[in-house]
Amino acid sequence: MEELSVKGLIVKDVDFGENDKLLTIITEDKGKLTVTVKGGRSLKNKFISVAEAFTYGTFGVRKKTKFFYLFDADVTDDFYPIREDLVKMSLASYICDVANELALEEVADEALLKLTLNALYALAYKDYDTKIIKAAYEFKAASISGFMPEISGCSVCGREPEDDSFVNAASGTLICSDCMTKPTSVTGIDSSSIVLPLTASALSALRYLEEAPIQRFLSFRLTGDAGSFTNFCEKYLACHLEKELYTLSFYKSVLNV
């Protein structure tokens, strides 16, 4: 029986069997692990307060055959203020769900873990607009997962857009407002395209995010309406994931209450 000590973030906890819990942990160096907590739903279980989503720490796990079992936990941060606010809680669930979708088993993805931790930290302890945290996380998570946009210039004429432009969320390419008036045979827009407007401020925020180090991923400022930025980021990641996440619908339903 092998024992491991892993540093990581619990991104999902689900009930399992009669009294157990299953945790999905994104770890620093072992990728995504599924770990069973025997008796984890019992109020007397010593892991009752740590074996849940948003807990970051060091976990001792035993490997029996191909399954992992939790035997020790040392919490670094549980981002507690998130749990006291339904909007933050539902957004954190969505963020962890995205991380779970993007993370691979047994493939370490330090950037994705770091980005997710930074987003949870900002949600818990900083005063950022939650819509901006969501959008910046979506775009940066897609970028670091290999879905890099082509936003250095207009994809049709190659020029820098002079004002507001358009972006195809399916391909991540930019189209200036002049080229948008050209026929689709020239622009390449077809039925698979998802063409959205983008303000000049939103474009510079996206360019910042593409290059920014992860710990500075929220250090940009948008002027005017942030709607085109948040809308594009959500659609862009959704195109990459190729599925709709229930946690996103739930977050939106909480906002509309």
| Shortest CB 79 distance to Zn ion, Å | 43
Dihedral sign of CA atoms 204, 206, 212, 214 in order:
positive
DSSP state of 83: G
Using the rule CB under 5 A, which residue among 89, 179, 209, 241 binds Zn ion? 179
How many CA atoms within 13 Å lie on the side-chain side of 34?
Answer: 11
Which range, of 59-67, 86-94, 148-156, 204-212, touches Zn ion by CB under 5 A? 148-156
Calpha distance 152→149 (Å, rounded): 9
Q: 177 near 166, Cβ under 8 Å?
A: yes
Q: 128 near 218, Cβ under 8 Å?
A: yes
Is 156 an interacting residue with respect to Zn ion (CB under 5 A)? Answer: yes
Q: 154 near 177, Cβ under 8 Å?
A: no
Query: Which residue's CB is nearer to Zn ion, number 157 or number 194?
Result: 157
Is 176 an interacting residue with respect to Zn ion (CB under 5 A)? Answer: yes
Is 245 an interacting residue with respect to Zn ion (CB under 5 A)? Answer: no
Which range, of 71-79, 122-130, 171-179, 220-228, touches Zn ion by CB under 5 A? 171-179
Is 82 an interacting residue with respect to Zn ion (CB under 5 A)? Answer: no
| Shortest CB 167 distance to Zn ion, Å | 12
Query: How many chain residues are in contact with Zn ion, going by CB under 5 A?
Result: 5
| Shortest CB 213 distance to Zn ion, Å | 31
Query: Which residue's CB is nearer to Zn ion, number 124 or number 175?
Result: 175
152, two tokens = 């250095």
| Shortest CB 153 distance to Zn ion, Å | 8
| Shortest CB 178 distance to Zn ion, Å | 5
Which range, of 47-55, 82-90, 116-124, 168-176, touches Zn ion by CB under 5 A? 168-176
Is 154 an interacting residue with respect to Zn ion (CB under 5 A)? Answer: yes
Is 167 an interacting residue with respect to Zn ion (CB under 5 A)? Answer: no
Q: 30 near 58, Cβ under 8 Å?
A: no
Collapsing DSSP states into helix, strand and coil, what is residue 157?
coil
| Shortest CB 235 distance to Zn ion, Å | 21
Is 91 an interacting residue with respect to Zn ion (CB under 5 A)? Answer: no
| Shortest CB 195 distance to Zn ion, Å | 13
Is 189 an interacting residue with respect to Zn ion (CB under 5 A)? Answer: no
Q: What is the CA radius of gyration of the chain?
A: 20
Cα dihedral 248→251→256→257 (10° resolution): 140
Q: What are phi and psi of 24, to 5 degrees?
A: -105, 120
**Burial class, 257, CB count within 10 angstroms (exposed 0-12 / middle 13-18 / buried 19+):** exposed
Calpha distance 211→94 (Å, rounded): 24
- Which residues here bind Zn ion, judged by CB under 5 A? 154, 156-157, 176, 179
